[in-house]
Amino acid sequence: MTTVAVKPATMAQALTRALRDAMAADPSVHVLGEDVGTLGGVFRVTDGLAKEFGEDRCTDTPLAEAGILGTAVGMAMYGLRPVVEMQFDAFAYPAFEQLISHVARMRNRTRGRMPLPLTIRVPFGGGIGGVEHHSDSSEAYYMATPGLHVVTPATVADAYGLLRAAIASDDPVVVLEPKRLYWSKDSWNPEEPAAVEPIGRAVVRRSGRSATLITYGPSVPVCLEAAEAARAEGWDLEVVDLRSLVPFDDETVTASVRRTGRAVVVHESGSFGGPGGEIAARVTERCFHHLEAPVLRVAGFDIPYPPPMLERHHLPGVDRILDAVARLQWEAES
């Protein structure tokens, strides 16, 4: 086995590589969506695939999201493994009926006879200075829909691993790709990508004793930064990267919070009715007697995603996270 120098790669590159490897390994993997062929996608994640595998494997569709997802359902019925790209999170909304009423339920309503091995890639979240409708966080909708898996990578390696796992899954998987991490770099060896882990395991990105930050996707780097900054305050924060929102890894999260006794959930998505409520509620159910303070949430405001010039106020940042940590009733401990 030759050793290849580990070079920095972006998350977008890792995603492209995951698609390419999956398509090479399995001729039933087909990519479809708006501008995914000739252009290589507006984020260039499908760059080169049409050239390498032909337009029948990587197809520019007409401009209609329900049509894209609906035809992908039919392709999956015939044994293909379609990978659909929704151009931006907000442009997945026209496909909701197909998603909720068919994609999420087909396995169940056919007693397992007609599984839908479908991957739905959704560039998600803000922080890229996008104009309106280009920065939504829509994970709450997907999480509330039984039958879907929902994953989101925070690192280059996970981007590869989770996308491969999604394509390999016999269930529909929504892959939320944090837009603002597309160009984040990491040393990662595309020739020896990490083994593909099954979907559903969170990971402790940083160990700590004082409190747990529970987060995912684009907020993971922010939380790691906050944890570094917290050292100055004397807090040793643990950071759990959920990676998979559905299924939810209660084990890892619960173990962490039982250890630290305090937790803050951090995400970009709006607070009210957002993922943080679910997470805080289930952590509290499981860790009540270990908790020194209520599980707090640091989230986007309950407003339509703001414009570029104001988004920094909306996005959970280091200061807001540390403010929340400070409210974790430290007096009570001493």
Partner 1 sequence: MTVMEQRGGYRPTPPPAWQPRADPAPLLPDAEPYRVLGTEAAAQADPELLRRLYADLVRGRRYNTQATALTKQGRLAVYPSSTGQEACEVAAALVLEERDWLFPSYRDTLAVVARGVDPVEALTLLRGDWHTGYDPFEHRVAPLCTPLATQLPHAVGLAHAARLKGDDVVALAMVGDGGTSEGDFHEALNFAAVWRAPVVFLVQNNGFAISVPLAKQTAAPSLAHKAVGYGMPGRLVDGNDAVAVHEVLADAVRHARAGGGPTLVEAITYRVEAHTNADDATRYRGDDEVETWRRHDPIDLLEHALTERGLLDEEMKRAARDAAETMAADLRARMNQDAPLDPMDLFAHVYAEPTPQLREQRALLRAEIEAEQGGTQL
Ligand X SMILES: Cc1ncc(C[n+]2csc(CCOP(=O)(O)OP(=O)(O)O)c2C)c(N)n1
Q: Which of 134, 149, 267, 314 is catalytic?
A: 134
> Judged by CB, which is closer to partner 1: 5, or 131?
131
- Measured from the CB atom, is 207 or 306 closer to a copy of itself? 306
Question: Choosing among partner 1, ligand X, a copy of itself, none, which partner's interface includes residue 243 (Cβ < 5 to 8 Å by kind)?
Answer: none
Comparison of 41 and 193: residue with beta carbon closer to partner 1: 41
What is d(CA 214, CA 263) in angstroms, rounded to the nearest whole number? 7
Binding of ligand X at residue 94 (CB under 6 A)?
A: yes
Instruction: Kindly tell me the sign of the dihedral angle through the C-alpha atoms of 266, 269, 272, 276.
Output: negative
Q: Which does 313 bind (CB under 5 to 8 A by kind): a copy of itself, partner 1, ligand X, none?
A: partner 1
Distance CA(223)–CA(214), nearest Å, equals: 9
Helix intervals (H) in the chain: 11-25, 49-53, 65-77, 96-97, 106-109, 139-143, 156-168, 219-230, 250-260, 275-287, 311-314, 318-326
Give the position of tokens 């919070």: 257
Choose the binding region for ligand X from 86-94, 146-154, 163-171, 224-232 (rule: CB under 6 A).
86-94
Which span sits near ligand X by CB under 6 A: 17-25, 87-95, 200-208, 256-264? 87-95
Report the partner that residue 293 touches, choosing among a copy of itself, ligand X, partner 1, none (CB closer than 5 to 8 A by kind).
a copy of itself
Closest approach of partner 1 to the CB of residue 266, in Å: 15
Neighbours of 290 (CB within 10 A): 16
Contact status, residue 135 vs residue 94, Cβ threshold 8 Å: no
CA angle 73/76/79 to nearest 5° reads 160
Q: Could you tell which of a copy of itself, ligand X, partner 1, none binds residue 130, using a CB distance below 5 to 8 A set by kind?
A: partner 1
Instruction: Please give the torsion angle defined by the CA atoms of residues 135, 137, 142 and 148, in that order, rounded to the nearest 10 degrees.
Output: 70
CB of 264 to a copy of itself, least distance (A): 11
For residue 72, the partner it binds in partner 1, a copy of itself, ligand X, none, with Cβ less than 5 to 8 A by kind, is: partner 1
**Residue bearing tokens 């390994």:** 25
Residue 134 appears among annotated catalytic residues? yes
- Note whether 226 and 211 are within 8 A (CB): no
DSSP readout, 98-123?
IIIIIITTHHHHTTTSS----EEEEE
For a copy of itself, the binding residues (CB under 8 A) are: 66, 90, 93-94, 96-97, 100-101, 104-105, 108-109, 132-133, 140-141, 143-147, 246, 248, 269-270, 272-282, 284-285, 288, 291, 293-297, 302-304
User: Which amino acids are annotated catalytic?
Assistant: 134
